[in-house]
Amino acid sequence: MPIIASAKKRVRTTRKAASRNRKMKREVKSALKLFIKSPGTKSSQTLQGRFDIAVKKGVIHKNKAARLKARAAAHAKAAGVKPAVKAAAKSKAAKTPKKG
């Protein structure tokens, strides 16, 4: 055990962070298993959201998340799941004027 106060604090904060990271990884894995078990639009959105949150919190690397999201999308496409288009993307496309 550390003797210095700052080292003691580092041990405490490291334990808290490790606990949060384990929880986040567990959520990502469970969302992935749920998606693999029953691929659908809702489970796909949940999985993508979990990946985004994990990247934002620094639990997994952004390239790893991108790779896993691409694999999940390929799995969904093979299963015949239609990709969900967000409402914001639809409205933005409608607002842009067409050239010509």
pLDDT tens-digit map of 38-97: 888 888 999 999 999 999 999 999 999 999 999 999 999 888 877 666 655 666 666 766
Q: What is the pTM of this model?
A: 0.71
Q: What's the fold here for domain 5-80? A: Methane Monooxygenase Hydroxylase; Chain G, domain 1 (1.20.58)
pLDDT at 80: 84
**In which residue are the tokens 């967000």 written?**
86
As to burial, measured by CB atoms within 10 angstroms (0-12 exposed, 13-18 middle, 19+ buried), residue 37 is exposed
Between CA 53 and CA 21 the distance in angstroms is 11
pLDDT at 82: 76
pLDDT at 81: 78
pLDDT at 87: 58
List the chain domain ranges.
Answer: 5-80
